[in-house]
């Protein structure tokens, strides 16, 4: 057993096992906002999508989506821990050369900045900011709140 700390091996989630077409369709849905049915149609180059395939794909999208309630809750907890200044510490027990069990306290690698960046990514997708662009092309008198005829 190695004494070095491996952040990727301890906390990293396993990569999902998917076919190439499923991964491409997942990318279309998550990153580009397509509907699951349209994504499957694009990846399959048209063709018919069976209901069972669509149902299973929707289940996979829900499982790996950043907008699912479990992921939003984790992001909320992350922000809360950062604001409360909870330290990122991992306590483990290891055996030394003499056979005695020793408690080892290690600093966990994800810093508060990285945690907040990940939480921001989740919140940006779960609660996007809606911006409106209003087209003001038209006659100026339609938009004037004051009647200027008396002053001319």
* pLDDT tens-digit readout, 5-30: 444 444 455 566 778 888 888 888 87
pLDDT digits (tens, 9 = 90+) for 113-134: 888 888 888 888 777 666 766 6
89 is a domain residue: yes
Residues near 104 by Cβ (< 8 Å), separated by ≥ 6? Answer: 91, 92, 93, 94
CA angle 30, 12, 124 (to 5 degrees): 35
Query: What is the residue range of 50's domain?
Result: 16-65
For residues 32 and 22, is the Cβ–Cβ distance under 8 A? no
Indicate if the pLDDT at residue 86 is higher than 50: yes
Q: Is residue 133 part of a domain?
A: no
End-to-end CA, the chain: 88
Are 80 and 110 part of one and the same domain?
yes
Average pLDDT in the 103-122 region?
81
The predicted structure's pLDDT at residue 4: 45
pTM of the predicted model as reported, rounded to 2 decimal places:
0.49
Measured distance CA(7)–CA(13) in Å, rounded: 11
How big is the CA angle at 71 (ends 23 and 65), to the nearest 5 degrees?
20
């Amino acid at each position: 057993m190695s004494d070095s700390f491996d952040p990727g091996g301890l906390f990293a989630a396993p990569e999902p096992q998917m076919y190439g077409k499923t991964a491409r369709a997942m990318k279309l849905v998550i990153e580009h906002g397509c509907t699951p049915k349209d994504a499957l149609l694009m990846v399959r180059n048209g063709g018919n999508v069976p209901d069972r395939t669509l149902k299973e794909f929707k289940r996979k999208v829900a499982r790996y989506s950043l907008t699912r309630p479990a992921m939003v809750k984790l992001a909320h907890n992350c922000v809360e821990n950062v604001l409360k200044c909870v330290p990122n510490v991992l306590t483990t027990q290891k055996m030394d050369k003499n056979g005695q069990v020793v408690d080892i306290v290690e600093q966990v690698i994800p810093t508060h900045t990285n945690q907040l960046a990940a939480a921001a990514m989740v919140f940006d997708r779960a609660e996007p900011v809606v911006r409106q662009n209003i087209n003001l092309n038209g006659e100026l008198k339609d938009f004037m709140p004051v009647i200027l005829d008396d002053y001319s």
